[in-house]
Amino acid sequence: MRAIDDVACSKPGCDNFGQPGVNIVCHGWFTTTSGRRWRYRCKSCGATRSTNTGTAYSGLRCSRKAFDQVATLRVEGVSLSATARVMGHSRNTIARWLERASIAAERFNGHILRDFPILELQADELFTFVGSKRRTIWLFAIIEVSSRLWAGSRLGRRSYRNTKTVLNDVILRGRLIGVPLIATDGFKYYSGVIMRLVGPACIYGQVIKTRRNNRVIRVERRLKIGTAGRLNKALLESEDSETLNTSFIERLNLTIRQGSAYLRRRSTSHARCEDQLREHVELFRCHYNFVRPHRALRFGRETRTPAMQAGLVSQPLTWSDIFTAGGPFPCLFEAVRISVYVPPTEFDAAERPTIFWPHEQRRAA
Ligand SMILES: [Zn+2]
């Protein structure tokens, strides 16, 4: 049983709405095939709720484990029909679960992906289609290189408006540190959008690759904002990049293509509509940022997730953390957030910030 201090009334309009532990009492329990679930009652409005109410598990007739397993299979590139066969449920049931899981993941991304440090950004677009081959669509993806965080994504046409929306979202959510380095491909709208949103407060370059017979024969690097001296200084300070490059976003694109049945090349299981694809991408993004340890972020025995490296959470999360985050335990958001980021003072503003981890702080104290 969860501590009652964590539970809050979930009825909008009630005086105790969203206040954990205020006027909440236990109201018995009920049994499910996977064990006991507690029910709580608000003393002010009389509304009752269970531990599943308001979460992605609400109304579920199976175990939470089965639900989590479906989400895992989906982000490992298994198609909808194959997931249904493996789990022994109907295709419609799996589709309904995934819709709920994706909504929870989208909400989670929106709440937690905030205030991350931006040192180096790379942006790119992925080509795919929905419904039929004639309806082409692009997936914009932006990675924060130092933490490998998939900071922004947007589906739509390859237009000025979409380019601006996705970059604006990332810049508003994150925190620019010093003079960030931004690299993209040669797509025409990036230059204007970055000039308008960040201006001379960043260094921006394009990496243009010329291909022949599917092989890169020439790589051209163009500096669009900033001077060559500032670019060299930024590259010297960067822990990841030695030259102006888009390797990290291209590696992320490969991860996305491998891990998603909808976005894989030469596949028969493409998405039937745009909403379906968007929801799937959000679920995948949540898994990539919060659940899946990133092999490039290995520090001794610990392999961190991108969200841990960005200082948003203190440990790898589980699907259960994500799916119950909007439920009766609103303070979970505070619990998973720890402040491990030390902002630079004026004195060392030019230097890369140092990130302290809790065990290091304990050792120092
Ligand atoms: Zn109430």
pLDDT digits (tens, 9 = 90+) for 54-65: 778 887 888 889
- Is residue 264 over pLDDT 90? no
CA of 107 to the centre of ligand 1 (A): 23
How far apart CA 184 and CA 161 sit, in angstroms, is 17
CA of 265 to the centre of ligand 1 (A): 50
Q: Nearest-CA neighbor of 116 among 162, 150, 163? A: 150
Residue 178 φ/ψ, nearest 5 degrees = 60, -135
CA of 48 to the centre of ligand 1 (A): 8
pLDDT category at 327 given cuts 50, 70, 90 is low
pTM comes to: 0.83
How far apart CA 186 and CA 205 sit, in angstroms, is 9
What is the enclosing helix (H) or strand (E) of 35?
strand 35-42
CA of 328 to the centre of ligand 1 (A): 12
CA of 330 to the centre of ligand 1 (A): 14
How far apart CA 46 and CA 41 sit, in angstroms, is 6
CA of 42 to the centre of ligand 1 (A): 5
Residue 79 region, left (φ>0) first, then alpha (ψ -120 to 50), else beta? beta
CA of 26 to the centre of ligand 1 (A): 13
- Is residue 162 over pLDDT 90? yes
pLDDT category at 12 given cuts 50, 70, 90 is confident
What is the enclosing helix (H) or strand (E) of 223?
strand 215-225
Q: What pLDDT is recorded for position 61?
A: 82
- Is residue 335 over pLDDT 70? no
Residue 112, both tokens: 């937690």
- Is residue 260 over pLDDT 60? yes
Q: What pLDDT is recorded for position 364?
A: 52
CA of 215 to the centre of ligand 1 (A): 63
CA of 32 to the centre of ligand 1 (A): 25
Q: Confirm if 311 and 339 have CB atoms less than 8 A apart.
A: yes
Q: What pLDDT is recorded for position 3?
A: 56
- One-letter amino acid at 114 equals R
By DSSP bridging, strand 35-42 and strand 298-299 are unpaired
**What is the average pLDDT score of the chain?**
84
Q: Confirm if 45 and 295 have CB atoms less than 8 A apart.
A: no
CA of 12 to the centre of ligand 1 (A): 8
Among 20-29, 118-127, 272-281, the minimum mean pLDDT is found in 20-29
Q: Nearest-CA neighbor of 253 among 330, 165, 184? A: 184
- Is residue 169 over pLDDT 80? yes
Average pLDDT on 218-230 reads 91
| Three-state DSSP class for residue 246 | coil
Q: What pLDDT is recorded for position 353?
A: 38
CA of 70 to the centre of ligand 1 (A): 34
- Is residue 126 over pLDDT 60? yes
pLDDT category at 143 given cuts 50, 70, 90 is very high
| Three-state DSSP class for residue 207 | strand
CA of 45 to the centre of ligand 1 (A): 4
- Is residue 326 over pLDDT 50? yes
Average pLDDT on 341-363 reads 41
Residue 341 region, left (φ>0) first, then alpha (ψ -120 to 50), else beta? beta
- Is residue 180 over pLDDT 60? yes
- Is residue 112 over pLDDT 70? yes
CA of 287 to the centre of ligand 1 (A): 33
Residue bearing the bigger pLDDT, 128 or 339: 128
Residue 360, both tokens: 């290091």
CA of 6 to the centre of ligand 1 (A): 14
Residue 259, both tokens: 């891990």
What is the enclosing helix (H) or strand (E) of 75?
helix 64-75
Q: Confirm if 21 and 50 have CB atoms less than 8 A apart.
A: no
Q: What pLDDT is recorded for position 346?
A: 41
CA of 47 to the centre of ligand 1 (A): 6
Counting residues of the chain whose pLDDT is more than 70, the rounded percentage is 88
| Residue 223 vs residues 119, 230, 238: alpha-carbon distances, Å | 17, 11, 17
| Residue 141 vs residues 122, 153, 302: alpha-carbon distances, Å | 8, 5, 27
Q: Confirm if 290 and 18 have CB atoms less than 8 A apart.
A: no
CA of 235 to the centre of ligand 1 (A): 55
Q: What pLDDT is recorded for position 229?
A: 92
CA of 329 to the centre of ligand 1 (A): 14
CA of 327 to the centre of ligand 1 (A): 14
CA of 185 to the centre of ligand 1 (A): 53
Count the helix, strand and coil residues of the chain and give each as a percent rounded to the nearest 5.
40, 25, 40
How far apart CA 288 and CA 148 sit, in angstroms, is 10
HSE-CB at 184 with a 13 A cutoff on CA atoms is 22
pLDDT category at 349 given cuts 50, 70, 90 is very low
CA of 50 to the centre of ligand 1 (A): 14
CA of 44 to the centre of ligand 1 (A): 5
What is the enclosing helix (H) or strand (E) of 109?
helix 91-112
Average pLDDT on 316-325 reads 86
Average pLDDT on 124-149 reads 91
- Is residue 131 over pLDDT 90? no
CA of 21 to the centre of ligand 1 (A): 11
CA of 98 to the centre of ligand 1 (A): 30
CA of 16 to the centre of ligand 1 (A): 5
Counting residues of the chain whose pLDDT is more than 90, the rounded percentage is 47
